[in-house]
């Protein structure tokens, strides 16, 4: 059954691969499943056909036969539960990996997204210079705790899993900032994720959309 | 095997049940599993023993024999996958319910938490009055989309599931605000969730901690 995902027709980050389809592409590359991509414009995303797939007008979505899913976390989890390669076999280790997926999305990502939202919507406000350090402090609290837990391990809990895939894509959102400079172990962790062949294939595939579009 | 969860020793919201152990209590009540509660103080939560269970120093945690989990989303999903009653049997419907759990936590909850964080940390800043409407607009965008999708259905996707449990607890965070006044169908949806006997048993159990402590 063909897997079809959606992605931005035009890359908002000029091919840096921060859009959330990157997580799904990476997961599919890790488990060796081919997929098709349907590109959507910002206008199309808000129209009824797309809203039927994604009630909040976002990407990515995932279609496979009768199944239609949204939310990158849910899609990666579905792929990881359906195809071997992204979750441990042992039931307890599997549940812990899923807990780390939720932690990446619910505990680590929100303050990072707050920083991005402030950049977009508050940069011209007179409070911006005061707000940014408040958000950064919140991010650093999370990174302190995350790096404490990671220690000198390669991955969050044993072998590489969907947990690391998710956490690495969350940390990547900090690439443009100076914050990760203070967390060499997290920067190295992110680099390990990005060095995986599956990551590189996924990154190249999303970049190709942009370079093709800018010809 | 006894299930042990953690919860706040002192209720930060005076027993309103907004702390995230409420989600886990509700899930356990829905599937009919008894559980023990270990109460932790704000100080204990930041100490090594608790951090070993919850790397970010939060509640709830979940212990069951050899298994230790954190993140309310992951814990509710684990309970829903382990015991019948919170997820549909059909594989596709199950994946969709899980997608809604992620949507509740990753798409609907973050702007609501932003509003709470602003209340705690920015109320004395001169920009607070300008920032609140910006956050509220973001929340309303999400609620517009959510109420469009819900339509006049009772639950998000067929029968009540862990998706609704999660979404109702997220919407409950708006109970103190005027925002839900503009969404009668979401207010009714939340009320349907709160009317469930399992919700009421869970609520009473978390309230008993507070009333016992304030004697």
Q: What is the pLDDT of residues A43-54, one digit of tens each?
A: 999 999 999 999
CATH dotted code for A3-85+198-213: 3.40.30.10
**How many CA atoms lie less than 13 Å away from B20 in the CB half-sphere?**
20
Higher pLDDT, A88 or A212: A88
Cis-peptide into A60, omega within 30 deg:
yes
The label of the residue with tokens 């979505």 reads A61
Among the listed residues B41, B31, B33, B45, the one whose alpha carbon sits nearest the alpha carbon of residue B4: B33
**Chain A contacts of B126, Cβ < 8 Å?**
127
pLDDT at A49: 96
**Interface mutation target, options B53, B64, B102, chain A, most CBs of A under 10 Å:** B102
Q: What are the distances in angstroms from CA A70 to CA A60, A75, B54?
A: 6, 6, 28
pLDDT at B146: 98
pLDDT at B11: 79
**Chain B contacts of A103, Cβ < 8 Å?**
55-56, 70-71, 74
Q: Above 60 in pLDDT, residue A208?
A: yes
Right CATH for A91-196 from 1.20.1050.10, 3.40.1160.10, 1.10.1660.10, 3.40.50.300: 1.20.1050.10
pLDDT at A213: 62
pLDDT digits (tens, 9 = 90+) for A48-105: 999 999 999 999 999 999 999 999 999 999 999 999 999 999 999 999 999 999 999 9
Mean pLDDT to the nearest integer, A32-38:
97
Would an 8 Å CB–CB cutoff place B98 in contact with chain A?
yes
pLDDT at B1: 83
pLDDT at A212: 77
CA distance A214 to chain B (A): 31
pLDDT at B214: 55
Closest partner CB to B95 (pick from A67, A96, A107):
A67
Q: Using a CB cutoff of 8 Å and minimum separation of 24, what contacts does B82-86 make?
A: B83/B31, B83/B32, B83/B33, B84/B31, B85/B30, B85/B31, B85/B32, B86/B27, B86/B30, B86/B31, B86/B161, B86/B162, B86/B165
Chain A's closest residue to B74, CA to CA, is A99
Cα distance between residue B195 and residue B164, in whole Å: 13
Would an 8 Å CB–CB cutoff place A73 in contact with chain B?
yes
CATH fold of B3-86+198-213 reads: Glutaredoxin (3.40.30)
Among the listed residues A172, A175, A167, the one whose alpha carbon sits nearest the alpha carbon of residue A147: A167
**Percent with pLDDT over 70 in chain A:** 99
Question: Which of the residues in chain B have pLDDT under 70?
Answer: 213-215
CB–CB of B22/B199 below 8 Å? no
Residue extents of the structural domains in chain B: 3-86+198-213, 91-196
A 134-173 near B (Cβ less than 8 A) = 134, 138, 142, 145-146, 148-149
Same fold, B3-86+198-213 and B91-196: no
**Chain A contacts of B92, Cβ < 8 Å?**
66-67
Helix or strand or coil: residue A33?
A: coil
pLDDT at B137: 97
**Percent with pLDDT over 90 in chain A:** 92
Among the listed residues A17, A18, A30, the one whose alpha carbon sits nearest the alpha carbon of residue A163: A30
């Amino acid at each position: 059954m063909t897997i079809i995902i959606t992605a931005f027709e035009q890359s908002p980050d000029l091919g840096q691969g921060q859009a959330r389809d990157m997580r799904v592409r990476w997961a599919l590359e890790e488990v060796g499943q081919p997929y098709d991509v349907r590109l959507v414009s910002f206008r199309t995303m808000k129209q009824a056909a797309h809203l039927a797939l994604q009630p909040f007008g976002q990407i990515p979505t995932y279609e496979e036969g009768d199944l239609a899913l949204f939310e990158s976390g849910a899609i990666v989890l579905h792929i990881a539960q359906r195809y071997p390669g992204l979750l441990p076999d042992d039931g307890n280790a599997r549940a812990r990996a899923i807990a780390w997926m939720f932690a990446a999305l619910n505990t680590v990502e929100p303050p990072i997204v707050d920083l991005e939202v402030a950049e977009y919507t508050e940069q011209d406000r007179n409070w911006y210079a005061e707000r940014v350090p408040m958000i950064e402090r919140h991010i650093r609290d999370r990174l302190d705790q995350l790096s404490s837990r990671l220690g000198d391990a390669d991955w969050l809990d044993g072998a590489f899993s969907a947990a690391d895939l998710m956490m690495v894509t969350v940390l990547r959102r900090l690439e443009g900032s100076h914050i990760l400079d203070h967390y060499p172990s997290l920067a190295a962790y992110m680099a390990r994720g990005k060095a995986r062949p599956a990551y590189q294939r996924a990154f190249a595939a999303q970049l190709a959309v942009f370079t093709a579009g800018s010809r």
